[in-house]
Amino acid sequence: MKATIKTGFIIAILCAFVSVSYAQKPKEVGGAMMYPTKNIIENAVNSKDHTTLVAAVKAAGLVETLQGPGPFTVFAPSNDAFAKLPAGTVESLVKPENKATLTGILTYHVVAGRLDAKELAKLIKAGNGSATLKTVAGGDLTAKMSGKNLVLTDAKGGTSTVTVSDVYQSNGVIHSIDTVLMPMTM
């Protein structure tokens, strides 16, 4: 009896480990593999699609924060998303005198907790078609589905679509987005 219980327990642990490992396989983003055993910064620095975001995170002094334990959900604007901003915006934001503004914009893309696509879908369903997400910056994002696409609406009414979801990290999850989100104060 004890051997059967012990064997059953070991099998249950192995099944749980395999299912977690399977759900969090490495994913390619920007030509580089993103590994769930690495933190947000360790992975993001390798993505050719997120070089502008990485430079902005460094300029804002947020590297240590995003290397921390989290967990964080990061809606990561691609280089193309930053390119949609008016000419000169990014260059202006990364200047030392604009660090507070840049920090406000970047932390508006971060939500506390690990919200993968499945969890976001649950929140949207529970909210009768939309979910309000409180950002680390203190503002709100609204998440909705548009067909099979997850769409975020910022405080100014701008929208961004998730282009790559569920890029698991040791300290959270990243969803790549196609437009920079703006808090009300910007």
Q: Give residue 37's pLDDT band: very low, low, confident or very high (50, 70, 90).
A: confident
Residues 90-147: pLDDT tens digits? 999 999 999 999 999 999 999 999 999 999 999 999 999 999 999 999 999 999 999 9
Instruction: Specify the pairing of strand 72-77 against strand 32-34.
Output: unpaired
Whether 33 has a pLDDT exceeding 80, the answer reads no
Structural domains of the chain, ranges and CATH numbers in brackets: 2-177 (2.30.180.10)
DSSP 64-125: HHHHSS--EEEEEE-HHHHHTSPTTHHHHHTSGGGHHHHHHHHHTTEEES---HHHHHHHHH
Alpha-carbon distance of 77 to 156, in angstroms, equals: 17
The pLDDT value recorded for residue 142 is 97
Alpha-carbon distance of 43 to 45, in angstroms, equals: 6
